[in-house]
Structures are given as structure tokens and as C-alpha cells.
Amino acid sequence: MSTVAEMPSQKYEILPKTSEAGEPIGELLEISMGPHHPSTHGVFRMDVVLDGEKVVKLKPVFGYLHRNHEKIAENISYLSSMPYTDRLDYFCSMTNNWAYALAVEKLAGLAVPERAEYIRVIMAELTRLQNHTCLIGFFVQDMGALGTPLMYAFREREKILDLFESVSGARMMCNYLRFGGVRCDVTPDWLAQAKQLVDGYGKFLDEFEALFTENEILLARTQGVGVLSRELAVNASITGPLLRAAGVNYDVRKVDKYGIYSRFEFKVPLGEHGDIYDRYMIRILEMRESLKILQQALRDIPSGPVMDPKAKLRGFRPKAGEAYGRIESPKGELGFYLISDGSANPYRYRVRPPSFINLTILEDMCLGHRIADTVIILGSVDIVLGEVDR
């Protein structure tokens, strides 16, 4: 079975291609979208069977970037995997670092100093801002608004990356968190710059929204397209903005209250219809909530150490056992599952990548829509192939 058309059709019946009078009207067309297609956000392929322009079957094919991240991590020490986690979702290296650090801290029973917790929250929420901003830029580009909105998004993203660079030395591959804290402290100057950025971001969002939220083309292309029902979203383990757009109130920041998220006041925006427009709106609203968290964190950040003095980076050997740590990354629930056998390398290291699992329902969302809609449906899922393929 090398092609989709040969595979057994289980859930969907392919309609006979005949008119009511019994004359044949055409045949199904199987096309391979990708792996080098501008709308697939990386090397990703969709095997699509089309009836005219309508999608009757769709299978995602990936693995082109597979380098077996998990196997690499099982052959190196715990700390050496930290820079590798940056490369999973290369837009959000800070949250990847955090998920991994959280799992190891759970495994080894390490505490995190107060100031480091605040720095982590600031970094994670800045990451969420730039991820959602860029995603909306890419997503309207998929709808044909070439260039300009994406450049606005990248302009703002670059300001956030400048902040990351000044604290960690790298724009995207930050490698900033450590087990039991963060690598180095932030300066008062940096905090003032971050405050300035956060204060100005609301205005940028207003401008951004003025471009899109009531835009006629965006409304026509997104409302009622790619609807994901609540039941299917839960059953298919969908997480992140996709799940909340379907109306399920589940945010790991609220449920697990990892780090110090219980101290901040913020709301979890929920969608009603589960269509693409809801997903767009959820991301805008989440950014506004992130700004609230950032303002509270930048106001309350205490002084003190940023590393647990008991945590040692060299010769780190946690006791035998296993732990699963998860956080709410911008794309959904990012989890790390670690089994230790008492040696310096993890016995089992597993990444639960949100965008990989969110692709499960891509076919269900695309069926019956036109081929042009699959492009924006895929755009609204928000995938990064570094994480899907690992």
C-alpha cells in the first residue's frame, strides 16, 4: 500500500463519480502536497485525494526531519540534552527548556529559587507572545496576504528575540534554563526593557487586530471552516489553542499550576464553534492574557539567587525512578517522560510533542473542504516540523 487511494477507506465513503443519470463525470485525483510546498511550514507532505476541488481523503506524511532525538538523549548526560531540546520547536526554545527542566526536577526532587521561577514565567510568556504573533502572520500569508502582515509580526518578534539574545546569547537556541534554576541572572536594565516592550505590545495587538479581526476575507475564509467538535478534540488528545477553541477549558497552567502560575491572575479564553476563526481569536486573547501575566511578574519579581545551591550540573545522577513533567507550551501540552536507572544518562527519554499529536485530526477537519482550505486548516493547527519529526 504505497498510495492513499489503495488504502482501505474506513470512515468515509468515496462517492461514485457518476451523475444521477448514471454517466461518469470524472475521476478522483490523488496529489502529493509537499514536502517542498510553501504552505506546509517545513518538510511536510499531505497525500490528498480530490474530487474536483473537494478533499475526500487526506493522509499526513512526515519524518523527513527525523533524527531520533530520543535515542541521542539516551546516550548523553541529562544536561547535554538541554541544548537539543531547543531544536524541537525552534520557535519556542524557552518553553522546551522549561518542560525538560521540570521533568528532571521532578525526577531528582530539586527546588527552584523564587527569582528563577519568575524569570521562567517571563521567558515562557514572552515566547508565547512571539509564537502566536508569528503564527498569525504565517496564517494570513497562507490566505494570500503576502508579506506585509508577516513582516509586522516579525518586527515585533525580533524585539522579543533581542531580549532573549541579551540574556542568553542566542536569539532562538537559547539553552537558558538549568535544573534547579536558570543559567544566569537578568539585569535591572533588562527588566526595564522587558517592561517597556510589554507596555507597548498591547498597542501593537490593537493595530494587528484592526487589520484582521473584522477583515472580510479573513471572515469568509475562516468562519465555519475546519470545525473540530468538542468530543473529538478531547478523544484525540488535542491540546493548546486548538482544544480551547473547541470550547474545552483545559490549560495546564491552570490545572497543574506548575512553577508559580497559581500566583497570577489570568483567564483562559474559550472558543464556541471550534472553527479556524475561533483559533485565531483564542490566540489573540491568549496574548492579551500573557501580557497581564507579564505585567504582574515584572512588577513582583523578587531579588535573590537564580540557582538552587544543591543542584549540581556535573556528575548529575538522579536516583532510579520515573517522572512525567508537562507544561503548557504555546502549541499545546509539551511533556517529557524520563526513566532513570541511577546512571548519568537517562534510561528512557521521551518527548510528548504537541504539534505531532495535534495532526491526528487533520484529515477529519479537512474532509469536505476545498484544497485551498486545507492550507489554512494546517496553518491553524500550528505545527513545527522540528517537533513533529524529532
Contacts with another protein, residue ranges (CB under 8 A): 1-2, 7, 10, 62-63, 66, 68, 70-71, 106-107, 109, 232, 234-238, 248, 250, 255, 318-324, 326, 333, 335, 337, 339-340, 348, 350, 352, 356-357, 359-361, 389-390
Residue pointed to by grid coordinates 521532578? 106
Tell me the one-letter amino acid at 371: I
Q: Which is nearer to another protein, 41 or 350 (CB)?
A: 350
Q: Which is nearer to another protein, 201 or 258 (CB)?
A: 258
Number of Cβ within 10 Å of residue 253's Cβ equals: 20
Q: Which is nearer to another protein, 17 or 230 (CB)?
A: 230
What DSSP letter does each residue of 26-69 carry, written as one string?
---EEEEE-SS-GGGSSS-EEEEEEETTEEEEEEEE--TT---H
357 class by beta-carbon count within 10 Å (0-12 exposed, 13-18 middle, 19+ buried): middle
**What letter does residue 107 receive in the DSSP assignment?**
H
Asked if residues 318 and 108 have their Cβ atoms less than 8 Å apart, the reply is: yes
Q: How far is the CB of 96 from another protein (least distance, A)?
A: 16
Q: Give the N- to C-terminal CA distance of the chain in Å, as an integer.
A: 25
Q: What is d(CA 337, CA 350) in angstroms, rounded to the nearest whole number?
A: 5
Q: How far is the CB of 234 from another protein (least distance, A)?
A: 5
Q: How far is the CB of 257 from another protein (least distance, A)?
A: 11
Q: Which is nearer to another protein, 221 or 326 (CB)?
A: 326
Q: Which is nearer to another protein, 286 or 333 (CB)?
A: 333
Q: How far is the CB of 389 from another protein (least distance, A)?
A: 6
List the grid coordinates of 232. 473529538
Q: Which is nearer to another protein, 113 or 325 (CB)?
A: 325
List all residues 6 or more positions away from 39 whose beta carbon is below 8 Å from its beta carbon.
33, 142, 375, 378, 379
Q: How far is the CB of 249 from another protein (least distance, A)?
A: 8
Q: How far is the CB of 384 from another protein (least distance, A)?
A: 15
Q: What is d(CA 252, CA 98) in angstroms, rounded to the nearest whole number?
A: 13
Q: Which is nearer to another protein, 212 or 356 (CB)?
A: 356
Q: Which is nearer to another protein, 259 or 335 (CB)?
A: 335
At CB < 8 A and 24+ separation, what contacts does 63-66 make? 63/389, 64/35, 64/385, 64/389, 65/385, 65/386, 65/388, 65/389, 65/390, 66/389, 66/390
List the grid coordinates of 174. 537559547
SS3 145: coil
**What letter does residue 181 receive in the DSSP assignment?**
E
Q: Which is nearer to another protein, 198 or 245 (CB)?
A: 245
Q: How far is the CB of 271 from another protein (least distance, A)?
A: 15
List the grid coordinates of 69. 532525538
Q: How far is the CB of 183 from another protein (least distance, A)?
A: 24
Asked if residues 271 and 241 have their Cβ atoms less than 8 Å apart, the reply is: no
Q: How far is the CB of 150 from another protein (least distance, A)?
A: 29
Residue pointed to by grid coordinates 501593537? 204
SS3 190: helix
Q: Which is nearer to another protein, 172 or 339 (CB)?
A: 339
Q: How far is the CB of 28 from another protein (least distance, A)?
A: 19
